[in-house]
């Protein structure tokens, strides 16, 4: 089953850090590098990320860590994706051609594990 974000309006930086799998200082750095990423601030000045911000951060992480893009390359790729995005089109991670293959492998691994535990 694919990962689903919790159904919340806002996420604190610690929650986002855990979801994305990077330290909070990395999230703050990415805010300086990606114009699309602008979390709100609570009256206490804590960052509040919306669901779309978290999805964007997951895309940024994928581009940088999995696909090997530089910051500049990831910036361009995100801008390209925004221009090409059509209503109803799947988000970037789901457009990845290896996505289906990865899910099939995960399913087989889970079935194998279930069989061993039974």
SS (H, E, C) 11-55: EEHHHHHHHHCCCHHHHHHHHHHCCCCCCEECCCCCEEECHHHHH
Give 96-101's long-range contacts (Cβ < 8 A, gap of 24+): 96/62
pLDDT tens string 78-105: 988 766 554 555 555 555 555 666 777 7
Question: Where do we find the tokens 């500049």?
Answer: 72
> Is position 80 within any domain?
yes
Read off the tokens for 25.
Answer: 């200082």
Question: Greater confidence, 53 or 1?
Answer: 53
Query: Region 33-51: what's the mean pLDDT?
Result: 92
> Is position 53 within any domain?
yes
Enclosing domain of residue 75: 11-86
> Is position 94 within any domain?
no
> Is position 91 within any domain?
no
> Is position 5 within any domain?
no
Whether the pLDDT of residue 31 is over 60: the answer is yes
> Is position 95 within any domain?
no
Q: How many domains does the chain have?
A: 1
> Is position 106 within any domain?
no
Question: Where do we find the tokens 């089953």?
Answer: 1
> Is position 117 within any domain?
no
CATH number at residue 24: 1.10.1660.10
Query: Region 27-53: what's the mean pLDDT?
Result: 93
């Amino acid at each position: 089953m694919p990962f689903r974000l919790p159904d919340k309006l806002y996420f604190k930086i610690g929650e986002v850090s855990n979801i994305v799998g990077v330290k909070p200082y990395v999230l703050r750095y990415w805010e300086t590098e990606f114009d699309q990423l602008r979390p709100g601030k609570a009256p206490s000045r804590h960052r509040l990320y919306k669901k779309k911000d978290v999805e964007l951060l997951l895309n940024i992480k994928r581009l940088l860590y999995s696909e090997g893009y530089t910051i500049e390359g990831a910036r361009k790729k995100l801008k390209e994706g925004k221009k090409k995005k059509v209503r109803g089109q799947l988000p970037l991670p789901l457009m990845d051609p290896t996505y289906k293959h990865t899910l099939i492998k995960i399913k087989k691994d889970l079935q194998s594990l279930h069989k061993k535990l039974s």
